[in-house]
Amino acid sequence: MDILRYTDSAAIRKAIAAIENPREIRVLFVCLGNICRSPAAEGLMLDVLARHADTARWVIDSAGTGNYHVGDLPDSRMRAHARRRGIELTHRCRQVHESDFFDFDIIIGMDHSNLSRLRAIAPSVEAEGKILPMAAFFGAYSRFDHVPDPYYDGAEGFETVLDILTEATENLYDTITAHLPDAQS
C-alpha cells in the first residue's frame, strides 16, 4: 500500500512528530461505550504488532467517551466475531479521562461524535493535537468517513467493522513506523 495515501495530512504528521519517546509509542483507541469498535481496534493493533514482532515498544489501550459499560468485557458479539479471526478481546471497558492526554501520544476516535467529545476534554491545544480520526487510516474503505457502530446491526455490521479496522490498524502501524525510522529496534 502507498503509505502517502493516508499520511498526507499535516495533522497526522504533526501528531506523529510529537511522539515523545519513539521507543515507547502509546496509542489509545476511543469509541462511545468501549465495547465494540475501540476494543476491536485495540485487539487488532496488538495483532499487527505481534505479526511485526514489534510489541515491546508499543502501549495500546482503548476507552469510551461514555461510562455505560465500565468494568465490562467487550460486547459478546464483537468478541465472537473477533475470535473467529484469531483475536481475543479481553479488555475491560473504561471511560476516557483527561489524564489519558498525558499518558498517550496518539488518541484515535472512531467517529465524529467521539472526536468532538475528545476535543472537549483535551486539557490543552497541544493535547488536542494528539486526536486523530480512525478514518485517516482507511485505505480500501475510504468510502466511509468513520467506523460505523455495529451495536444495533447484525453479524454483517461486526464483520464490516472488523474488516475496516484490520486494514486501518495495519495502515496506522505502517504510517507511524514510516515516520519514526530511527525508532526501529
Average pLDDT, the chain: 92
Active-site option among 37, 79, 94, 111: 37
pTM of the predicted structure, to 2 decimals: 0.93
Q: How confident is the model at residue 182 (pLDDT cuts 50, 70, 90)?
A: low
Cell of 149: 457502530
* Catalytic-labelled residue, pool 31, 75, 93, 174: 31
Whether 118 has a pLDDT exceeding 80, the answer reads yes
CA angle 96, 73, 151 (to 5 degrees): 80
Q: Are 41 and 100 in contact (CB under 8 A)?
A: no
Interatomic CA distance for residues 181 and 122, integer angstroms: 29
Query: Does the annotation mark 61 as catalytic?
Result: no
pLDDT of residue 181: 56
pLDDT > 70? residue 160: yes
Write out the H or E segment, with its range, that includes residue 27.
strand 25-31
Strand, helix or coil for residue 108: strand
Arithmetic mean of pLDDT, 151-161: 93
pLDDT(173) > 50: yes
**Distance from C-alpha of 117 to C-alpha of 109, rounded to nearest angstrom:** 9
Catalytic annotation, pick one of 75, 100, 105, 149: 149
Q: What's the whole-number mean pLDDT along residues 4-26?
A: 80
84 classed as catalytic: no
- Higher per-residue confidence, 84 vs 181: 84
Q: Residue 54 catalytic?
A: no
